[in-house]
Amino acid sequence: MATLDWIILVLFLLGLFGIIWWVLKHKKDDTSDYFLSGRSETWLAVGAAIFAANIGSEHLVGLAGAGAESGMAMAHWEMQGWMILILGWVFVPFYAHSKVFTMPEFLQKRFNKNTSSTLSIITLISYVLTKVSVTAFTGGIFLQSVMGIDFWYGAIGLVLLTGIFTVLAGMKGIMTISVIQTPILIVGSIIILVLGLLKVGGGGLVDGWHEVVKYAGNNIHLIHQKGDPWYDKFPGIGVIFGASIIGFWYWCTDQHIVQRALAAKNLKNARQGTILAGFLKILPVFMFLIPGMVAAAMRAKGQVMFTDNNEAYGSLVRTLLPIGLKGIVVVGFIAALMTSLAAHFNSSATLFTIDFYKHYRPEASEHKLVWVGRIATISVVLLGLVWIPIMKGLGSVLYEYLQNVQSLIAPAIAAVFLLGVFNRKITPKAGEWGLLIGFVIGMFRLGLMVFDPGTHFDAANKMITDPMLRYGIFKFVLQFNWLHFCLFLFLFTMAIMVVISMFTPKAGSEQLQGLTYFSQSPEQIAETRNSWSKIDVITSLIVVAVCVAFYIYFW
């Protein structure tokens, strides 16, 4: 980082305070404005915000590191623009018609309060212990590798800066910075990809790609066959089903993503925003994963140096970008880290305020609810800071565990939402117990993974995967591949819900009105139909076609 780069960074920080001043000057002291930006955003802001909420340090550090280590294996979780289309075309109409702020609030309307509270608790726990802390943790690594800032200063500074911004600017500030940083992030990442390919290819893009493919070997493929070193972790086409379940939970039911779509001024802008996000979601493979593969090839040729794969992307930024451009790109990356972290802060505050505080204090004023939301944000910031040293102390072992956490949380939530929307016969008690049982089973496996006394590690601190050495008396639970277990838990939760529905009272027609696919009113059906046009259909099909073409090429 040269002087010019630091000047650009300072100007960015001043711009953040400018956004805060503008939001405070024009703010409305109510929950709709603070949590959902007044439901006034256009498709451009919605699409950029969904994309920005997804792109965080786990991409700059984790996805690039995964590309350096295992090639295309993690691309299944990134090539999911088609899944965002399901959010816009299928689920947003139900959420919008129900006038909810949060996903637990939707489950309360469809099932009961216990189901809502269970989802809120699950989501808050996952945000504090994984998403907030992981973003801060990996953000500290990125800032250290690129700017030379000490890990602790980078991680804590990122959390505090984002916390202040979120508390003061709310959702409108987050949406504003998302629109600004998204093009910088995309253009900067593509520049790094091009410069990396030129470098490793001796001046030619095609030659560079051939060098990457040559170095990657079998890792260039999405599907691993038996006998492949990566088959045990990513077993054949099982990875597609597992990734899809996790993707459905994340893109169609997770609060911090859906909340961006609900900020749209109407269904048309919400759907078009998800279509834009679908296009943008195609890019991270080329923005981060393939550059990670490029970095690995450059390291093999002695063109770049890094010992930890988590430093792969930072090493490219540090090595390839010229003065000035480096500052601009780093600003875009920091903004990306902030918007992802701010999305989690704001969603956590929304969940606590709407699903807990407002439930027990229904007479609370809008002004009071906004302040409770700010206090909740501060609490999440502090809890995230407390967890960072615990994560750092556990080191790489915890990082491997965290890769499995989403596969244990997602199945039950995905099953409850899917059956809840598409099957009127699923009863309130079935939703309540299905969610709880599925979550408990998932956490039981996670607990065994953490505390399993049979776990062993080799000299490089890598977990031994031989079941005869690793698993104790619960090997029948632990010996499942994590993606196969994800699919099993998803199907098991649905089966439990169907059985419970046979013996418990069904929801009345009034409760289901507009909340399931087959109980929409004629007015709601008409509103949904009038919200899309042929261009929406065509652009959506293009997103799907690109995803299919990607799988065909890298299969």
- The average confidence (pLDDT) of the chain is 80
Record the tokens describing residue 125, joined without a space.
Answer: 């726990």
Record the tokens describing residue 290, joined without a space.
Answer: 């393939």
Could you count the other beta carbons within 10 Å of the beta carbon of residue 461? 10
d(CA 551, CA 555): 5
Specify burial of residue 521 (Cβ count, 10 A radius: 0-12, 13-18, 19+): exposed
Which residue reads 């407390």 in tokens?
386
Higher pLDDT: 518 or 354? It is 518
Over 60: is that where the pLDDT of 539 sits? yes
Residue 40 has phi, psi (to 5 degrees) of: -130, 10
Number of residues written out for the chain: 555
**What would the pLDDT profile of 134-164 be if each residue is shown by its tens digit?**
777 777 777 787 777 887 888 788 778 777 7
What was the pLDDT predicted at 398? 43
Which residue reads 């970008």 in tokens?
321
Residues whose CB falls within 8 Å of the CB of residue 473, separated by 6 or more in sequence, listed in order:
none
Residues whose CB falls within 8 Å of the CB of residue 229, separated by 6 or more in sequence, listed in order:
none
Could you count the other beta carbons within 10 Å of the beta carbon of residue 198? 15
Instruction: Give the least confident one: 116-120, 221-225, 369-373.
Output: 369-373
User: Coil, helix or strand for 70?
Assistant: helix
**What would the pLDDT profile of 91-133 be if each residue is shown by its tens digit?**
888 888 887 777 888 888 889 888 988 888 888 877 776 777 7
Question: CA-based Rg of the chain, rounded to a whole angstrom?
Answer: 23
Over 70: is that where the pLDDT of 475 sits? no
d(CA 65, CA 72): 11
Confidence of residue 39 (pLDDT cuts 50, 70, 90): low
Nearest 5°: CA angle at 395, between 450 and 59?
100
Contact in structure between 16 and 180 (CB atoms under 8 Å): no
Q: Which residues partner with 457 through β-bridges?
A: 463
Residues whose CB falls within 8 Å of the CB of residue 302, separated by 6 or more in sequence, listed in order:
none
Over 50: is that where the pLDDT of 455 sits? no
- Alpha carbon 3 to its chain's center: 34
What was the pLDDT predicted at 30? 53
Overall average pLDDT of the 422-437 stretch: 93
User: Coil, helix or strand for 264?
Assistant: strand
Record the tokens describing residue 336, joined without a space.
Answer: 């990306």
Residue spans per domain, the chain: 3-17+41-71+113-260+268-394
Per-residue b/e over 434-450, b at no fewer than 16 CB within 10 Å? bbbbbbebbeebbebbe
**What would the pLDDT profile of 20-29 be if each residue is shown by its tens digit?**
777 767 665 5
Q: Which residues partner with 264 through β-bridges?
A: 41
Over 60: is that where the pLDDT of 1 sits? yes
What was the pLDDT predicted at 166? 73
- Greatest Cα pair distance, the chain, in angstroms, is 70
What was the pLDDT predicted at 437? 94
Record the tokens describing residue 359, joined without a space.
Answer: 């439930």
Instruction: Give the highest mean pLDDT range of 335-344, 410-419, 452-461.
Output: 410-419
Over 60: is that where the pLDDT of 461 sits? no
Higher pLDDT: 277 or 392? It is 277
Higher pLDDT: 13 or 41? It is 13
User: What kind of architecture, by CATH, is found in domain 3-17+41-71+113-260+268-394?
Assistant: Up-down Bundle (1.20)
DSSP string, 115-159: HHHHHHHHHHHHIIIIIIHHHHHHHHHHHHHHH---HHHHHHHHH
Which residue reads 């508390």 in tokens?
167
Per-residue b/e over 144-170, b at no fewer than 16 CB within 10 Å? bbbbebebeebbbbbbebbbbbbbbbb
Specify burial of residue 344 (Cβ count, 10 A radius: 0-12, 13-18, 19+): buried
d(CA 450, CA 430): 30
What was the pLDDT predicted at 503? 93
d(CA 257, CA 420): 19
Instruction: Give the least confident one: 2-6, 26-30, 458-462.
Output: 458-462
**What would the pLDDT profile of 187-214 be if each residue is shown by its tens digit?**
888 888 999 999 988 888 898 898 888 8
Nearest 5°: CA angle at 501, between 103 and 258?
15
Contact in structure between 349 and 380 (CB atoms under 8 Å): yes
What was the pLDDT predicted at 10? 84
Q: From 474, 484, 487, select the one nearest 447 (Cα to Cα).
A: 474
Q: From 190, 187, 146, 405, select the one nearest 285 (Cα to Cα).
A: 190
DSSP string, 342-370: HHHHHHHHHIIIIIIIHHH-TT--HHHHH
This prediction's pTM: 0.80
